[in-house]
A and B are shown apart, each in its own frame.
Chain A
Amino acid sequence: MAVTLTVNGAEHALDLPREMPLLWALRDALGLTGTKFGCGIAACGACTVLVEGQAARACVLAIGDVWGPVTTIEGLGRPEALAPLQRAWIAHQVAQCGYCQPGQILQAASLLAETPAPTDADIDAAMSGNLCRCGTYGRIRAAIHTAAREMAEG
């Protein structure tokens, strides 16, 4: 019983159980390893992807319940064609170990889609579900403001 998923613009028919979390379908079946496993219970945000532009925790989202096209970090931008958020992340040299950063960036993308000019309080509210054990929060906050400005200027 195949499940059809659209990931980063490409359609995939997957012969996998419908209850399998999207995280593992991406990582182990499609080889898209940019989406990370951190906790398995939606407590750390490392697995954050976009579904129809909205942040979702892939570790607890069954592939049978995916309601729209999925964007992972690989689809947001590529090394040779970066998204504004990725450029801002580089400008502020945000990543340290980097493991949580794909999830942080996609959570920020979801925030900016809804709130194009977020305040610090907006950022606190949107980003507090994304854990970073390196403590890069200050640079993440600065990068989100930078990306918001760049996206506003088009």
Chain B
Amino acid sequence: MSRLGRMTRRTFLVTSAAVAGGVAFLVRKDGQPVPNPLEPGPGETALNPWLVIDGAGVTIVTPRAEMGQGTQTTLAALVAEELDLAWEDVRVMHGPASASYYNGALLALGMPWKEYAASRWQEAAVGSTDVVARLLGLQVTGGSTAMVDGFEKMRRAGAAARIVLVQAAAARLGLAAERLRTEAGAVIAPDGTRLTYSDLAEAAAGIPPPEDPPLRPASGWKLLGRALPRTDMLAKVTGTAEFGIDVRLPCMLFATVRMNPRLGGPMHGFDAGAARAMPGVVEVLDLGTGFAVVATNTWLAFRAADTVRADWGAAPYPADSPAQMQAIAAAFEDHPNATLRDDGDMADSTGNEISAEYAVPYLAHACMEPMNAAARLDGERLDVWCGTQAPMLVRDHCAAALGLKGADVAVHTTFLGGGFGRRGETDFAVIAARVAAALPGRAVQVTWTREEDMRHDFYRPAALARLRGRVAGGRVTGLEARIAAPSITRQMMRRIAGFAPPGPDKTLLEGAFDQPYAIPNFRVAFIECFLDELAQAAGRDPLELRLELVRPEHAPSAAVLEAVAEMSGWGTPLPEGRARGIAFCHSFGTPTAEVVELVQTDAGIRIARVFVACDPGTALDPGILEAQMTSGALFGLSAAVMGEITFAGGIAGQGNFPDYDALRMNTAPQVAVNILQSGGIGGAGEVATPPAAPALANALFALTGRRARRLPLVHDFAFAL
């Protein structure tokens, strides 16, 4: 265990700020101090919650989990930029579970307004959401929010630390601070004397940091704006990166879990006689709605679990996919419980009406690393090791499950082998905590089989959309979209907070109502596919129609459409058997447009090329952004082509990758990315996903003349897979 690992493990024993080395509180702009959750050991100084200095240099504590999106690299670069660190010297660790690492940008995502047009009262409301997020202590990685939340916060942490380090050097040298400069982790005097931050840290900790340190303008950036080498790359190509599943502790036992595959259903009983008789099986535990097998290795636990005969109760939902879709369709007969945009009345619009119904299935997250966590209960103290997007929720839910106080639970966040929102849930950690509680003093790692993972997901809900539109004189005069689906935010908030917030659920309609299209009589919208249908009915080019609708509303959105058109050669002729489709989405603060180019081959339809143009405001790391856009587009295309969870008898029909696959080396398209920068900061993690499916569907229409109105597309189109 590394020195820093020790430090975070001890963090939860801290009850006051009086710790070795001294702790300065970083003061926020609003005057509220952010308590420092770090407990430095001898020779270590935590100048604020985001950085620790010891004899070897500076370690940046990133408040967000690394699940592939590169967030820890860019968050560290924000601090290093202001602190003047040499990039090769930067070390990074994930911080402990602490409300100090709240994500102020996350709750704003759930607010019901058009995100591209935040007005002053809306900003004020976001400000208060920020306060709520702090109260809830949402130390969450998700919603493409890390840079929006961290852009100022992390730079302020670096700038404030730099100022007190310079002041400490000035005092030691008897020189005015203005005469000193900083470079590569040291303060430099005019005569060349070099004092490292390590030398100065302890003295600097005694100096109150400035409340509002000045930040460097983008024109002076040395690290930001460049494609930096990722801080996690070396570990990830040498097998030395520690994911949750890789945690190894002294005398550790290995376990697996089987919960009722009819989600939420009861277990009436189980017979584990054969499992208990297997040499190496330590324990079979009753978890109420399932059981866990603890053994001396994971394979043995899997095999023993296979021999257990459980009497599973029925699912508390319609057992089969057709019945589930009927229940969703029935919601159209009810009064809508959310109308997020209503700019007029469809009845007032004129022209020819067209309508269409779209259907999307349940989707699994299918992280490459199956769900898992390790835990150990020592007396009243619980340690939990896992890859999590929400360490504070892990802490609180594990504490509640064991009847402990939150302060008695330490969460050690590892790398995440994929998250996609699945690791914002806490079920895997709570199960590990409950298993560990049955074996006090022993560390137990609970690893799910792939089948257990896929059949116990929090699925992206299936949905139906009914759209009506009117066109007259080559223009779109009216559009109405009605969407029926189980709510995401309500389900999630019930799990997180025990209640569902009132009001419409914006996350369900993300990318639907809040698009900058100016259409008279715009009721709740959705519909990148339907816009293509309207364009066809109006006799218009899909790009031209979008530009006409977008330009008066939001210039950066028009610019990404123009950029993607130029990259892809939109409008230029393609050879026979090739076709393009376009789509656009403004999500997580970043307008993103995509063109998909298809080719008809003898083996079926291939996705040949994808073009992505996005505007995240400021390209903090163009290399990571390019990777994220590619990643997001492929994720969306995989889901659109083949992603589907169906239910029979209450159980998901897909349990492993042959049944729930994704694009692979031989089927993935080439992806080209163009990053525009209109200023400000938008999200990056997921923004390329929403436009991928509609761009593909629109390209399929261009290629085949058939509209793609249900996903996954493999049901209606022959792909070369």
Q: Are A90 and B298 in contact (CB under 8 A)?
A: no
**Distance between A19 CB and nearest chain B CB, rounded to angstroms:** 9
**Distance between B675 CB and nearest chain A CB, rounded to angstroms:** 16
**Per a CB cutoff under 8 Å, which of A36, A94, A132 touches B237?**
A94
Report how far A39 CA is from B289 CA in the complex, Å: 24
Residues of A within 8 A of B656 (CB): 39-41, 43
Report how far A47 CA is from B402 CA in the complex, Å: 35
Residues of B within 8 A of A94 (CB): 233, 237
B131 at interface (Cβ–Cβ under 8 A)? no
Total cross-chain contacts (CB, 8 A): 182
Q: Are B239 and A131 in contact (CB under 8 A)?
A: no
A130 at interface (Cβ–Cβ under 8 A)? yes
**Per a CB cutoff under 8 Å, which of A16, A33, A125, A139 touches B246?**
A33
Q: Are A136 and B631 in contact (CB under 8 A)?
A: yes
Q: Are A127 and B665 in contact (CB under 8 A)?
A: yes
Residues of A within 8 A of B657 (CB): 38-39, 41, 43-44, 131
Q: Are B299 and A21 in contact (CB under 8 A)?
A: yes
Indicate with 1 or 0, residue by residue over B635-675, a CB within 8 angstroms of chain A CB atoms.
Answer: 10010000000000000000011100111111110110000
**Distance between A140 CB and nearest chain B CB, rounded to angstroms:** 7
> Are A95 and B229 also in contact (CB < 8 A) when A133-B662, A140-B665 are?
no
Q: Are A40 and B670 in contact (CB under 8 A)?
A: no
Residues of A within 8 A of B670 (CB): 138
A29 at interface (Cβ–Cβ under 8 A)? yes
Q: Are B635 and A133 in contact (CB under 8 A)?
A: yes
Closest Cβ neighbor of B661 among chain A residues: A131
Residues of B within 8 A of A78 (CB): 238
B368 at interface (Cβ–Cβ under 8 A)? yes
B147 at interface (Cβ–Cβ under 8 A)? no
> Are A72 and B631 also in contact (CB < 8 A) when A123-B665, A138-B670 are?
no
B236 at interface (Cβ–Cβ under 8 A)? yes
Report how far A122 CA is from B111 CA in the complex, Å: 49
A35 at interface (Cβ–Cβ under 8 A)? yes
**Distance between A145 CB and nearest chain B CB, rounded to angstroms:** 13
Q: Are B662 and A131 in contact (CB under 8 A)?
A: yes
Q: Are B238 and A36 in contact (CB under 8 A)?
A: no
Report how far A63 CA is from B623 CA in the complex, Å: 41
B219 at interface (Cβ–Cβ under 8 A)? no
Residues of B within 8 A of A131 (CB): 368, 657, 661-662, 664
> Are A44 and B368 also in contact (CB < 8 A) when A124-B666, A135-B630 are?
yes
Q: Are B415 and A97 in contact (CB under 8 A)?
A: yes
Q: Are A90 and B662 in contact (CB under 8 A)?
A: no
Stretch at the interface among B62-70, B182-190, B209-217: B62-70
**Per a CB cutoff under 8 Å, which of B237, B417, B627 touches A99?**
B417
A151 at interface (Cβ–Cβ under 8 A)? no
> Are A133 and B418 also in contact (CB < 8 A) when A39-B450, A138-B670 are?
yes
Residues of B within 8 A of A123 (CB): 665
Q: Are A98 and B370 in contact (CB under 8 A)?
A: no
Indicate with 1 or 0, residue by residue over B197-218, a CB within 8 angstroms of chain A CB atoms.
Answer: 0000000000000000000000
Report how far A97 CA is from B241 CA in the complex, Å: 10
Q: Are A33 and B239 in contact (CB under 8 A)?
A: yes
**Distance between B460 CB and nearest chain A CB, rounded to angstroms:** 14
Q: Are A35 and B665 in contact (CB under 8 A)?
A: no
**Distance between A78 CB and nearest chain B CB, rounded to angstroms:** 6
Residues of A within 8 A of B369 (CB): 36, 38, 97, 99
Residues of A within 8 A of B67 (CB): 97
Report how far A121 CA is from B416 CA in the complex, Å: 32
Indicate with 1 or 0, residue by residue over A88-107, a CB within 8 angstroms of chain B CB atoms.
Answer: 01100111111111100100
Report how far A70 CA is from B626 CA in the complex, Å: 36
Q: Are A31 and B664 in contact (CB under 8 A)?
A: no
Q: Are B240 and A24 in contact (CB under 8 A)?
A: no
Residues of B within 8 A of A29 (CB): 297
Closest Cβ neighbor of A140 among chain B residues: B665
Q: Are A24 and B635 in contact (CB under 8 A)?
A: no
Q: List 30 A-B contacts (CB under 8 A).
A: A20-B299, A24-B297, A24-B298, A28-B254, A28-B298, A33-B246, A39-B656, A39-B657, A41-B656, A41-B657, A43-B656, A43-B657, A74-B238, A79-B240, A93-B227, A93-B233, A93-B623, A93-B627, A95-B236, A96-B631, A97-B369, A98-B68, A101-B236, A102-B237, A105-B237, A132-B368, A132-B664, A133-B420, A134-B631, A137-B668
Q: A90-B234, A99-B418, A133-B366 are in contact. List 9 more A-B contacts (CB 8 A).
A: A39-B657, A40-B302, A79-B240, A82-B238, A95-B68, A97-B67, A97-B369, A98-B68, A98-B417
Q: What residues of chain A have their CB less than 8 Å away from a CB belonging to chain B?
A: 16, 20-21, 23-24, 27-29, 31-41, 43-44, 46, 72-74, 77-79, 82, 86, 89-90, 93-102, 105, 123-125, 127-141
